[in-house]
Amino acid sequence: MNRLLVDDILRNALTEDLGGGDVTTELLPEAGRPATGTLLAKAPGVLCGAGIAARCFTLLDESVEISLKLEDGAELRDGVEIGRLRGRAASLLAAERTALNFVQHLSGIATLSRRLAQRAAEHGIRIVETRKTTPGLRVLEKYAVRVGGGYNHRYDLSSAVLLKDNHFALSKLKPGELVRRVRAQASHALRVIAEATDPQLVEELAANGADVILLDNFAPDEVRWAVRQVAGRALVEVSGGVNEANLDAYVVPGVDVISIGALTHSVRALDISLEIEPR
């Protein structure tokens, strides 16, 4: 990850939460005294963002000392110690919520990603997220998907050509002709992904040079039919409506990728706490 970009994200989050200052802690007589903090898992899952949480404290106060016992990707269980912090009580308290927000959210993404990725990997299929990420947190959320064992879809609009229903609707060309035109003009380094919202489009898109056929909201039987139509001429991506409950129905031989927006936009945070006490 770009550490400069990550620091900007964390700095903005700390600034947002601190506002005019931590008025509660500033009123405590013990605020300037040394304290220790223990980062604990309160539920089973996959750790992600331990170093990011730690960085929240050192950005606020570089004198804070941190010792992490576990690395991102570690399997957690209730009560496991993730790491310890030492520093001024005021610094630990001021950065606590921001740090926990990051590590809880990212660990939730990594946990769900691992569950889904392991099920799909048995069949040679990659689980990827989408661009349905929290504004400003994309680099972190995509990192969390990788930590969980998933893969990343395009990072931004410049990462690949993706012709969707609205692009086809705006074009005066037939979908196949548009794919061929774009394929001829795009950089050789860019893949051309074409979305099929109707089974009738699959053959047309595959025959005109799409590198990836994205099957949008296809039923499982339609996915099987589409895989036979593509016949290896392009990668097959399944997207739209796939979730943890119905994933197995879409693990179809010949599918290469399943993209799931819920990996980032509907994930449940993992319960992690910071227990602070005087030193």
Count of beta carbons in the 10 Å neighbourhood of residue 174 = 13
pLDDT of 29 above 90: no
195 is catalytic: yes
Query: pLDDT-based confidence at 222, cuts 50/70/90?
Result: very high
36-62 pLDDT tens trace: 999 999 999 999 999 999 999 999 999
> Of these residues, 11, 42, 84, 97, which one is catalytic?
97
> Of these residues, 22, 96, 195, 237, which one is catalytic?
195
Average pLDDT over residues 239-244: 94
Buried b (16+ CB within 10 A) or exposed e, 201-239: bbbbbbebbbbbbbbbebeeebbbebbebbeeebbbbbb
146-195 pLDDT tens trace: 999 999 999 999 999 999 999 999 999 999 999 999 999 999 999 999 99
Mark whether 149 and 96 lie in a shared domain.
no
Mark whether 174 and 222 lie in a shared domain.
yes
Question: What CATH number should be reported for the domain holding residue 210?
Answer: 3.20.20.70
Mark whether 261 and 273 lie in a shared domain.
no
pLDDT of 31 above 80: no
pLDDT (0 to 100) of residue 126: 98
Q: What order of strands is seen across the sheet that includes strand 272-278?
A: 65-68, 81-88, 34-41, 272-278
> Of these residues, 33, 69, 77, 164, which one is catalytic?
164
Structure tokens at 214: 């994205």
Q: Which residues contact 27 (CB under 8 A, 6 or more apart)?
A: none
Dist. CA 148–CA 47, nearest whole Å = 9
Whether 237 and 214 have beta carbons less than 8 Å apart is answered as yes
216 is catalytic: yes
Q: How many CA atoms lie within 13 A of 180 on its CB side?
A: 9
Mark whether 71 and 95 lie in a shared domain.
yes
Mark whether 66 and 98 lie in a shared domain.
yes
* DSSP state, residue 151: B
Residue identified by tokens 């409506």 is 241
Q: What one-letter code names the amino acid at 78?
A: D
Mark whether 257 and 149 lie in a shared domain.
yes
Mark whether 169 and 195 lie in a shared domain.
yes
Dist. CA 73–CA 63, nearest whole Å = 27
Mark whether 35 and 169 lie in a shared domain.
no
pLDDT of 25 above 90: no
Mark whether 67 and 156 lie in a shared domain.
no
> Of these residues, 216, 222, 256, 271, which one is catalytic?
216
Mark whether 123 and 261 lie in a shared domain.
yes
Question: What CATH number should be reported for the domain holding residue 90?
Answer: 3.90.1170.20
Mark whether 242 and 257 lie in a shared domain.
yes
78 is catalytic: no
Mark whether 107 and 191 lie in a shared domain.
no
164 is catalytic: yes
β partners of residue 45: 76
Range of the domain at 85: 3-115+267-278
122 is catalytic: no
Structure tokens at 161: 């050509």
Q: Which residues contact 29 (CB under 8 A, 6 or more apart)?
A: none
**Number of independent structural domains in the chain:** 2
